Amino acid sequence: MITTRTVSHAEAGQKLVQYLGRILPDTPGSVFMRWIRTGQVRVDGKRAKPFDRLSVGQNVRIPPFAAAESSPPAAASSEIPQLPGLQLAGFDDLYLAIAKPAGLPVHPGSGWTDSIQTRLAQAFAGQPFVPTIVHRLDRDTSGVLLAARTHNALTSAHQALKDHQAAKEYLCWTTGRWNLSPPGQTVELTDRLEKAGDPGLQRVQTGDSGKEARLLATPLAILDDRSLLLVRLLTGRTHQIRVQLASRGHPIVGDPKYGSGSPPLRLHAWRVTLHGKTWRCPPAWDGDWDSTPWTTDKETDNDAQP
């Protein structure tokens, strides 16, 4: 029996071959291409191309032998489900703001099966679109991480990041007394970063070649043995903040790769601003590392909350 599926709002904007990959994740892409080429998959009764983008309300014909493997899209729920092992920092119709804990990778791989994306897939199983991570955070970095709730929201966020229309701000404790600018004065750091070392043991280092890396650093607190910085990324390079600060004699506290400390890494993604909305997640630091005295007055009214 031939089955048709109606494209939902959350699924709209995807290419036809991407759409098939989401509803039939165990089927090879080469099979989708053959189905489309031979007309076994049709859109609104007509032949389509693999990279045609789908719109809300379009009907996609699925071959009868594949229909049994797919399930109809569930109705989107207005309630946010409980996320096993994850905490929400905020949400709206387009995005989830996840409070990422240190030590949990964003995506599976390199010996890690558990991840933020894996837990999202489990929590939103059966939904028309599984929320998808918008940007990256290193495994040992904590903080706010955005996941798009629709395909159009995902592509919109990626375009904003590409066009430098999104802002990512971090808090970090560095070793030593900061001497590059006085308290409250922002300084721009510019370097070229390149990878060195064997695969699996690679480090990022400054050099004459490599990709340009730029950030803005503002000291919020300068103490005798450590300093609290607010860092805004102007580019997004691997380990950028860690390398640029360490190369100037101020490695991040708890960074065994680019400093001499032991975890936890005192680097936290504090705020992300996208499409005029700021999502924030205060760090769970206490004792000597509590940043609250220097950040409370920097919270803004448009910060998104659950």
Q: Is there a catalytic annotation at residue 138?
A: yes
User: CATH for 3-67, among 3.10.290.10, 3.40.50.740, 3.30.1280.10, 3.20.20.480?
Assistant: 3.10.290.10
Peptide bond into 264 cis (omega under 30): yes
Considering 92, 93, 138, 303, which one is annotated as catalytic? 138
From first to last of its 306 residues, the chain has per-residue pLDDT tens of 568 888 888 888 888 988 888 877 767 777 788 888 888 889 998 899 989 999 988 999 888 755 444 444 444 445 666 677 789 999 988 999 999 999 999 988 777 788 999 999 888 877 778 899 999 999 999 999 999 999 889 999 999 999 999 999 999 999 999 999 999 999 999 999 998 887 767 899 998 889 999 999 999 999 999 999 999 999 999 999 999 999 999 999 999 999 987 889 999 999 999 999 999 999 999 999 999 999 876 654 444 444
pTM of the model: 0.76
Going from N- to C-terminal start, the domains of the chain cover 3-67, 87-153, 166-304
> Structure tokens of 168?
């990512």
166-304 belongs to which CATH class?
alpha beta
> Structure tokens of 48?
């389509």
- Rounded-to-integer distance, Cα 97 and Cα 85, Å: 14
Q: What single DSSP character describes residue 160?
A: H
Architecture of the domain whose range is 87-153: 2-Layer Sandwich (3.30)
Burial zone of 238 (CB within 10 Å; 0-12 exposed, 13-18 middle, 19+ buried): middle
Check if the beta carbon of residue 132 is closer than 8 Å to that of residue 94. no
- Rounded-to-integer distance, Cα 290 and Cα 125, Å: 37
Closest C-alpha among 40, 42, 36 to residue 17: 36
